[in-house]
Amino acid sequence: MDAFYGEDSMTPGALQRRGSSIHRDRLDQTIPIEVKLDHVDYYVENGKKQIIHDVSLKFEPGRLACMMGPSGSGKTTCLSIILGNAAGEMKNGRVLVNDEPGPPRDFKSVAKLIPQEDVILPSFSVRETLSYHAQLVLPQKTTAAEREARIDAVIKSLGLSECADTRVGSVDLRGISGGQRKRCSIAMELLSNPCVLLVDEPTSGLDSSSAEVVVQILKDLSHIAGKRTVITTIHQPSYRIFSLFDDVTLLTKGRVAYTGPMKNLEAFFTSLGHEVPPKENPADHYMRLLQDPNLAYSLPTEFKKKQSSLTIIPLYDPAAFAEQTSGAKRSLSDIPRYPTSTLHQIQVLFRRQSMDYVKDPHKFLRMIGLKSKFRWTTWMWR
């Protein structure tokens, strides 16, 4: 079926009536992981250009955090540093995972990145996409029945039941809507029940209603048992979306202009003489300040001066959190990098690619045509 499905069941109003789109009995419990960047200096171009300057951030489990700033401010780079994907060089500072130097060798087993531009085969339905992905990310000993139960739970949790059997689609192949596609990307990573979820620009390309639904889902995911750590980057959200975040980090030119609870943000900028004008979206006001060349360096300096005086109430009792994370450290050390063997992964990917050609024969014919043309051109030049 090619028709687009509506999103009435996942509108902000519906979410409000339901209380939460995520139910604890649908997803397994996670172990609490606190992630910190401690005075990080980061360089690219063989160490010649510094793009992150003395950045210290803390992301707690059970809270939805966002990093906001203009393009080139270092938001995505910070996500890459946390995950251990950054291609540059960290000359100073460190990443701490539950106060242990990190990221651990197999951190990617429990920390998942949802990129801004997803890579989903358009010919598969949502359920088929999740089925193949589940075969790659769930332990190999998982039975087919357990795998299907997991897929059904994630589909229901993210409100994808209506479009579960509709193909994902693309620009040329009609399929699900943009908001449903973004939720499908989140669902793929939720199959392995990550403790840390990193989401790059979750609202990019979505209308205001769909964007709010996606962010509300991320907030619900972070609040399940108060344990999952969800970190997002966002460019310029609406007021309703901005108010959903528990913590916010403002970056400008690779420096921290503010990091801490959302409830302290307005008071901090008011103390600097940058009060939010009446009837203006606070996010727009802060973005304008971050893009002001005269404030790009003074704001981070002022934040460092006032940071020690800001009152931040920890989410957890320190003793209780230490006891929880001690078990988490042991659990992290026991988690393998890949839950399936290399041979199993090759088999799944081969079946998926073969089925993709069956479902989209035009792609197969184009590939054959390109290869034939390449061979003919190579023969002519001999």
Is the pLDDT at 16 greater than 50? The verdict is no
Distance CA 118, CA 184 (A): 10
Confidence of residue 5 (pLDDT cuts 50, 70, 90): very low
Mean pLDDT of the chain: 81
CA angle 356, 357, 358 (to 5 degrees): 90
Strand positions, DSSP E, the chain: 35-44, 49-59, 64-68, 89-97, 100-102, 111-114, 196-200, 229-234, 247-252, 255-261
Residue 211 has pLDDT above 70, yes or no: yes
Range in 125-139, 262-276, 316-330, 344-358 the model is least confident about = 316-330
Asked whether residue 226 carries a pLDDT value surpassing 70, the answer given is no
pLDDT tens readout for residues 43-87:
998 888 999 999 999 999 989 999 999 988 999 999 999 988 888
369 within 8 A of 361, measured Cβ to Cβ? no
Q: What confidence score (pLDDT) does residue 117 get?
A: 81
Give the model's confidence band at 339: pLDDT under 50 very low, under 70 low, under 90 confident, else very high: confident
CATH class of the structural domain 8-340: alpha beta
Q: Does the pLDDT at position 258 exceed 90?
A: yes
Residue bearing the bigger pLDDT, 319 or 223: 223
- Residue 320 is encoded by which pair of tokens? 């209780």
Question: Does position 189 have pLDDT exceeding 80, yes or no?
Answer: yes
Confidence of residue 332 (pLDDT cuts 50, 70, 90): low
Residue 247, CA distances (Å) to 66, 154, 300, 333, 345 in order = 6, 26, 17, 28, 38
Position 172, amino acid? D
Q: For residue 2, is pLDDT > 50?
A: no
Mean pLDDT, rounded, for 114-122:
85
The answer to whether residue 359 scores a pLDDT higher than 90 is no
Residue 62 backbone class (left: φ over 0; alpha: ψ -120 to 50; beta: rest): left
**How many C-beta atoms lie closer than 10 Å to residue 380's C-beta?**
7
Of residues 281 and 324, the one with the higher pLDDT is 281
How far, in Å, CA of 166 to CA of 1, rounded? 6
Query: Mapping DSSP to helix (H, G, I), strand (E, B) and coil, where does residue 197 land?
Result: strand
Phi, psi of 251 (to 5 degrees): -120, 145
User: Range with the lowest mean pLDDT among 104-108, 232-236, 339-343?
Assistant: 104-108
For range 340-349, the mean pLDDT:
90
- Give me the mean pLDDT over the 142-160 stretch: 91
Q: What percent of the chain has pLDDT over 90?
A: 42
Q: pTM for this structure?
A: 0.81
Query: How many whole angstroms separate alpha carbon 196 and alpha carbon 61?
Result: 8
